[in-house]
Amino acid sequence: MERRLPPEYVGWQAHEPAFRRMTTPELVSEVQDGAPDRRLAALSVIDLAEVDYETVEHWIRALPDAEANELAGAIPVQRPHASCREDVRWVDVARIGYERRRLPTFLVMLFSSLEALEARGCPEAAGAWELISDWLGGMYDRLVETSDEEAQADVSLFVFENYLDRAPVFEAFCGILTRQRSLAQRVSANPSWLLSELSDAQKRAALRDAEEGGGLPFHESWKLLSNR
């Protein structure tokens, strides 16, 4: 399905063939100084691994949402000859991008980058999962504090529905349940939503934490889950 973009980006795809022949410095120049349609096209073909970290951070802060989304999608994942250190860098870039922009594309790329670290067998993978899971708990709390319900839904859709089988993410999720009444109530009232694929021990732990956070009593939520 074609993306809906503001009118200033009309025709951006027409630039792609020529831009694919450009050097990275030329593409950086387009992103810095080009018209909106040219910036978007440049971001769609640029190799971010060849762009310095400070420039990428500046783009995260400054680019309009449509271009920041394209930037997030350009984060390299599972590059054949990349080092583990480079992959850790992209985890950090995606985290910073989500913190500053709250665009779900950055969230998706963050966890894709963690999976890439893991798939490569990088020794940093376990620590990265722990670090990002701890960050996720604090980030979710901030989303609640700012009443950003759309971002909360993104975290549920792109993280909780896909990564609760990872121990650090599950631990962070359970911590959130004890602190955030709305999520605790939703999970305990419909436990199959997020818990159906987990072990019984994990289901019990999550529902007890949901009870602690203001959800249904454990015996009620467990009955709901068992009946389904």
Residue-wise pLDDT for 10-64, tens only, equals: 999 999 999 999 999 999 999 999 999 999 999 999 999 999 999 999 999 999 9
Contact 9, 40 (CB under 8 A): yes
4 vs 123, more confident = 123
Average pLDDT along the chain:
94
CA distances for 25 relative to 42, 46, 145, 194, angstroms: 11, 10, 41, 45
Compute the distance between CA of residue 64 and CA of residue 183 in angstroms, rounded to an integer.
Answer: 31
pLDDT at 79: 73
**b/e map 207-228, b = 16+ CB within 10 Å:** bbbbbebbbbebeebbebbeee
Question: Model pTM?
Answer: 0.91
pLDDT tens digits along 8-23? 999 999 999 999 999 9
List the structure tokens of 43: 């971001």
- 49 Cα distance to chain centroid: 19
**b/e map 10-22, b = 16+ CB within 10 Å:** eebeebeeebeeb
Those residues whose C-beta lies under 8 Å from the C-beta of residue 101, and which sit 6 or more positions away, are: 60, 65, 68
- 131 Cα distance to chain centroid: 14
pLDDT at 78: 67
Q: Over 50: is that where the pLDDT of 7 sits?
A: yes
Quick one: pLDDT band at residue 1, thresholds 50, 70, 90? very low
Quick one: pLDDT band at residue 227, thresholds 50, 70, 90? confident
Those residues whose C-beta lies under 8 Å from the C-beta of residue 135, and which sit 6 or more positions away, are: 95
- Beta-carbon neighbour count of residue 105 at 10 Å? 22
Quick one: pLDDT band at residue 228, thresholds 50, 70, 90? low
Helix (H) or strand (E) holding 20: none
Contact 173, 213 (CB under 8 A): no
Quick one: pLDDT band at residue 113, thresholds 50, 70, 90? very high
pLDDT at 3: 60
CA distances for 32 relative to 12, 40, 53, 90, 177, angstroms: 16, 11, 15, 21, 43
User: Worst-scoring range by mean pLDDT, 117-121, 185-189, 191-195?
Assistant: 117-121
Three-state DSSP class for 35? coil
Q: Where are the domains positioned within the chain?
A: 1-74, 164-228
pLDDT at 40: 97
Q: What number is the average pLDDT over the span 156-184?
A: 98
pLDDT at 72: 95
Only one residue has tokens 């089988």, namely 165
> What share of the chain in percent tops pLDDT 70?
97
